[in-house]
Amino acid sequence: MSDNDKGGKFKKFAQKGKCRFCRAKIKHMDWKDSQTLARLSTGQGKLFSRKRSGNCSRHQRQFKLAVKHARFMALLPYVAK
Amino acid sequence: MATYEGMFLLDSARAAKDWEGTESLVTSVLTRYGAKFILKDKWDERKLAYPVKKQRRGTYFLAYFDAPEGSMAEMRRDLLLTDGVLRFLVLRWPEGEKLPEKIEIKRMVPDEEFRSAGRDGEDRGAGYGDGMDGGRE
Same domain, B128 and B91: no
CA distance A4 to chain B (A): 16
**Chain A CB contacts of B118 below 8 Å:** 39
A75, B30, B64, B123 from B4: Cα distances, Å: 20, 11, 6, 40
Same domain, B44 and B66: yes
Q: Do B108 and A28 touch (CB under 8 A)?
A: no
Distance, CA of B29 to CA of B34 (rounded, Å): 9
Our count of domains for chain B comes to: 2
Nearest residue of B to residue A76 by CA position?
A: B49
CA distance A1 to chain B (A): 24
Nearest residue of A to residue B90 by CA position?
A: A69
What is the domain extent for residue B39? 2-98
| Helical (H) or strand (E) element with B39 | strand B36-52
Same domain, B45 and B112: no
What percent of chain B stands above pLDDT 70?
83
Same domain, B85 and B111: no
Is the ipTM reported for this complex over the cut 0.90? Answer: no
- Sort strands B55-67 and B2-11 into parallel, antiparallel or unpaired: antiparallel
DSSP codes, A3-43: GGGTTGGGHHHHHH-S-HHHHTT-SS--TT-HHHHHHTB-T
- pLDDT (0 to 100) of residue B106: 87
Spatial CA neighbour of B120 closest among A71, A24, A33, A41: A41
Residue A18 dihedral angles phi and psi, to the nearest 5°: -120, 160
Query: In this predicted model, what pLDDT tens digit does every residue of B56-84 receive, in sequence order?
Result: 999 999 999 999 988 999 999 999 999 99
Domain topology for A28-81 = 30s Ribosomal Protein S18 (4.10.640)
Query: In this predicted model, what pLDDT tens digit does every residue of A4-24 receive, in sequence order?
Result: 455 566 555 555 678 889 988
Same domain, B121 and B85: no
Q: Do A69 and B105 touch (CB under 8 A)?
A: no
CB neighbour class for B22 (10 Å; exposed up to 12, middle 13-18, buried from 19): buried
Query: In this predicted model, what pLDDT tens digit does every residue of B83-115 receive, in sequence order?
Result: 999 999 999 999 888 899 888 888 888 888 776
**Chain B CB contacts of A53 below 8 Å:** 117
Domain positions in chain A are 28-81
DSSP B69: T
